[in-house]
Every structure is written in C-alpha cells, then in structure tokens.
Structure 1
Amino acid sequence: MKVKITQRESSALYRLLADTTSDIILKTDRKGFIVHASPAIERLGISLPSMLIGPHIQDIVHPASAAEIEGRHQDAIEGRQGADWMEFPALTSDRTERWFEIQMRRLVDDRQRVYGALSIMRSIEERRSFEEQLFAAAMTDPLTRLTNRSAFMTMLRHVVEERGGEGCVALIALDHLKAINMKHGQTAGDEALVAFSEVVRSHLRAQDIISRIGGDSLGVLLPAASAEQAEAVCARIVGVLSEKRQIAGGGTLSLTASAGVARIERSVDDTLRRAEMALFFAKSGGRNRLEIDGKLQRGWSWKPGNA
C-alpha cells in the first residue's frame, strides 16, 4: 500500500529527519549556495545561524573535488541526476579531511520552477577505513610488513604499461632459508627473513619499491634506473649481507643473498623470466652473488670480494 503524505506532513517529516539523523541535509539555491542545513553540519565546523551568507557547496569539499561536486549540483538543477552516490572528501574548519557520500535532487515549486536542490551527505569514514584495512591485508606480507607478490605484479604492470618500461627489476633471495629452518627452527627462519628484508630495504633508493614475492625472495622495482645503477644497488646489498655477522636468530646466524637483475622490457612476463633466469644462475653459481641479465652469456658475475 502506498503511503500518502501531505505537504505539511512532508515538512514535519523533513524536520524530524534533519534534527535526529547523523546525515547532513543541505538545501541549496540554484547557484549552489547553502541556504539551510541540518544541525549535523556542525560536524564540519559550520554554524549557519552565525553566518550572514551561507557557504557555497564547493566550500565544504576538498579543492580537488570542487569542480566535480559543482557539476553534480548543476546536473541536479537541470534534472540530470542519477541514483548513484558521489564520494568526496569534505573539509572541517581546521582543514581536516573527512570522507562523505552525497546525493542530490532538485527542488521544484508549485509552478514547476526549479529553485534549488536538496542533498543528503552521509559519512563513510568507517567504511573507507575498513576498506583500507582490507586492502592493506590483501596486499601486505604479514611477516615482513612489505607489500606482497600481488601488489608487486600490479606495480610492475603499471611500470611496463603506463610508464613505458623504464627501469630494472631485481629478485633477491635469502640463501639457504630451508636449511636455517631445519637446523634452527621456524622462528629463527622468520627472524632471518625479517632481518634480511630490513637490510635490503635500508640500502634501496627512496624511489625503489620492495615486496616479498616468495618464501625466501624479495622483488625490487627500480624505476628509471639504468642497468649500471641497479647493479650498484644490488651489489651493495649482497656485499653488506656477506660482511655482516650474527644478524639474526638471537645473534647466531650469518646471512647471505643471491640476486638477479633484468631491465624492464617488452612485457611483465618477459621481464620476470629474465630476472628469474639471472637469479637462477646466481644460485647455481654458488650463491652469495649477483647476476645481470645481458651479461650472463659473457660469463660475467659479481660476488663479494670481486669488485
């Protein structure tokens, strides 16, 4: 059964909702100036009764979203509004960002003249926080707190497809992790991986991106790095690990690593195949060394003490 509500009842219902809901109800004129708002707008640090002229709807959003929300308001005025909600960051009086979603409908008088728009703003802070936590969990390795293989592949694909494939990829593996686990236990192995990750991270450039992509291996994106620059970075990492002593397992384990480097070219699969081949040669050549794709067939390799 359809509920019939008179104009006076609609007005009473509006006041009831405006006074009790945590949503922000806005009434704007045709130009987008706020002429009335529910008490919840005070959450943004705005007190309309104390203002001679109400703010424009653009004034309560982040500048990056101002044009979009102005366009959405114009669509509502011209009757083009859809049923979808628009998400945007609003600004409080102390310039703090808080995320909301908004929906707008135009207001028409008895003579069918449009005189403004009615909008509902709803906070989505909790939802966005939850979504960000889920995203972080899905893209993060829980042990090392680095991004995981899925994130690494996404970033590599972006470099290949969007940035023209400039730079290099390095695959760096902790040597003999399985033996560490068997001899000293899983806890010691985990400590070794964390220590290994920290050493690698601390010797990368600010623009480099590191991820844990396998049980014993890390992937490093070196955007815009030449093969010589990537070689220098990875040689430093392999060398530093080789020189350190007793850095994991309660001060009883010395760690070494093997690394393979390849330029980012053609495709994600081709780039990874060449980097994996370089890492394979580093491991099969005795570990604790660095191999560079492109130098493999010339019999080149680098290990600590070779410089």
Structure 2
Amino acid sequence: MGVMITPQESSALYELLAEQTTDIIIKTDCDGFIRHVLPAGAAPPELAGGRLEGCHLLDLVDTPFAPAVMAGLRATLAGRQESKWVEFRSPRQAVPGNWFGLRMRRLLDEDDRPYGAVGIIRSIAERRSFEERLFAAAMTDPLTGLTNRSAFSWMLQHMVEGAVSGCLAMFDIDHFKAINLKFGHAAGDDLLVVFADLVKSLTRSQDIISRIGGESFGVLLPHATSDQAEAICRRIVTSLAEACGPAGGDRLRLTVSAGLAPIEHSLDATIKRAELALAFAKARGRNRVETASRQRSYWQGSIPGSDPESRIAH
C-alpha cells in the first residue's frame, strides 16, 4: 500500500527537514533571483548580510566565482547539471569560513518548462581549511617555515612557462656537516632557521625563498637583472660572515656560498647552471658568490672544449 502525501504535508516535511540541517535551501527564478529561503533567517552574515530573499545569486559570490555560478544555473535550467556542486567564496573575504558550495535542480511547470531552480547552499569552510592545511604541509619545510623543494620546483616551472625574467640563486651553508658533528644537530637546526630569517630580511618582498635540501636554499628573484640579483646575493653572503665573526676556540666561522644563474627556457637548464655556479664558488674557497656567466667565461678562457661539469665537484 502506497503512502499518499498531500502538498500541505509535503511542505511541512520540507520545512522539518530544513530545520534539521545547517544547509540553506533556496528557490530561484530563471534569472537567478532568490524567491524563497529555508530555514528563514538562517543565512550567515557573509552571504548578502544574512538576508537572501530578493537577492540575486551573484550578490552571494565573490567576483571571480560569478561566471561559474551563472554557468551552473544555466546548465541546471537546461537539464545538464542536476547534481554538480559549484564552489564559491563570498564577497566578504575578511570573514573566516566564507567558502560555500551550491547545488541546484530545476523546477518544471505542467508543460515541462523550467520556471526556476531549487538549490542547497552548504558551508564548506571546514573542508577547505583542512585542504589548505594539507597543501601547506605538503609544500612547507617544517623547520624554517619556508617553501620546500616541491614548491620551489613548481614555482620555478611556472616562471619558466610564463617566460618570467629573473634569476635563480642557490645557497649552501659552508661546512655544515662539520657544524653538526661539532655542535650537534640541534645547533645545526638553529643555524638553518637563523639563515632563513637572514635571507628573508635581505631579499625583496616578491622574492621566493625555499629550503631545497639539508643545508641548501633556493631563491627565485623574479624580474631581477643579473646585477640586482648578484648584489642581493653578496649582501647575504657578507652579512652572514660579518654576523658570525672569525673562527676561534670552540667556534666555527659560519659562511655561505652562492651560485647565481638567469632563469632560462627550461627548469633543468636553469637549475643546472645555478648548481654549477655554486660548485664553482665552493671550488674557489667558499664564502663567495659566483655567477653562471662568469663561470662560462672562465671555462671558455681556459682549456678549449673543457667541460665544467667534469672539472668542478660539488
């Protein structure tokens, strides 16, 4: 025996279900104006000040998400998008937890013509926050708080593909293994943090600093000329040496070597030239900056056909 539900009973059930969820149920017309909201007055203030009825869908979303929301409405009315969630951020970006998902289903009249859509708006702030934390953990070096090698490679690749001019600097703290052996790994970790802070204080706001290995750091210097990049690198090298002073007693002299190369047509070529320049800095006594252009001039002026990769060891 079937269960018959009258329209009045259906409406009461609809309202009961709406009261048991944090989701917001809306009904729109074909133009995207919201004609009805359940539960009444339950919308958070970051969505049109909490008053949704009479608003347009676009009043709820930040500008970059407007095309996706309207495309979702059009697809729903055409019967092509009955179950897909559209995620958006509200215009009030300063308010925490302003990420939402919208899912819509079209409403048809007696002649099977769409006259609007019913939708669910759901807060996805917790999930987005969790995803952002996961992303940050995957892309961040936990010791220094800098981006890690994976993030560094991704950002360099982005600059290469976008033909962004600039330079790549690579730094290695000199004799780091000896520091760990003499003073312990805790002291070595402290030195890495101090050096990371030093680099942050001496680079520009647009520069991207990453810890790419144990004692190795990479700095992307977008739009910097070779002279500008070299001046920044020299400031870092000189500042560390001056801050730590000469060796003596139980102290090791703390210095850093740097290799500098312009960003080229490929990620591998850029990294290779910076690494070779860094190896050249170490081979010439450490505590110095060497550039890829100077390294190339050196080899071209020495033995014809000599290969720097075979002559310089890291």
TM exceeding 0.5: yes
Letter in 2 for 1:226: T
Structure 1 counterpart SS, 2:179: helix
Whole-angstrom distance in 2 between the partners of 1:94 and 1:260: 41
What is the CA–CA distance in structure 2 between the aligned matches of 1:71 and 1:172, rounded to whole Å? 48
Determine the C-alpha separation between the residues in 2 that align with 1:182 and 1:93: 49
Query: CA 1:165/1:90 → structure 2, altered by over 3 Å: closer, same or farther?
Result: closer
Distance 1:97 1:176, change over 3 A: same
Counterpart for residue 116 of structure 1: 116
Asked if the contact 2:68–2:86 (Cα under 8 Å) also holds between the matched residues in 1, the reply is no
Size of the aligned set, in residue pairs, is: 290
Deviation (angstroms), 1:4: 6.5
> What's the counterpart of residue 135 of structure 2?
135
Aligned position for 2:265? 266
State the partner residue of 2:303.
none
The answer for the alignment partner of 1:240 in structure 2 is: 239
Contact 2:172 2:215 in 1 (8 A): yes
The equivalences for 1:52-201 within 5 A come to: 54-91=54-91, 98-162=98-162, 164-201=163-200
**Distance change >3 Å, CA 157–CA 31, structure 1 → 2:** same
C-alpha distance in structure 2 between counterparts of 1:5 and 1:89, whole Å: 41
Q: Is 2:46 aligned against 1:42?
A: no
Q: Cα 1:252–1:37, aligned 2, differ >3 Å: closer, same or farther?
A: farther
Can you list the C-alpha shifts for 1:34-58, whole angstroms capped at 9, x where unaligned?
Answer: 111112643234246xxxx711111
Tell me how far 1:257 sits from its aligned partner: 0.3
Q: Deviations over 1:177-234 (max 9, x none)?
A: 1101100011111111111111111111121110000100100001111111111110
Q: Structure 1 residues 95 and 256 mapped into 2: Cα distance closer, same or farther (>3 Å)?
A: closer
SS at structure 2 position matched to 1:54: coil
Structure 2 gap ranges (5+): 300-314
- SS class of match (2:142): coil
Aligned-partner Cα distance in 2 for 1:93–1:166: 32
RMSD: 2.4
Q: Aligned in 2, Cα 1:24/1:243: closer, same or farther, shift over 3 Å?
A: same
TM superposition shift of 1:91: 4.2
Q: How many percent identity over aligned positions? A: 52
* Aligned-partner Cα distance in 1 for 2:92–2:215: 46
Moved more, 216-225 or 35-44: 35-44
SS at match of 1:146: coil
Alignment gaps of 5+ in structure 1: 301-307
Per-residue CA deviations over 1:121-159 (Å, capped at 9, x if unaligned) read 111100000000000000000111000000000000000
Contact kept? 1:165, 1:266, Cα under 8 Å: no
Indicate the SS of the match to 2:50.
coil
Q: Which moved more, 1:63-72 or 1:176-185?
A: 63-72
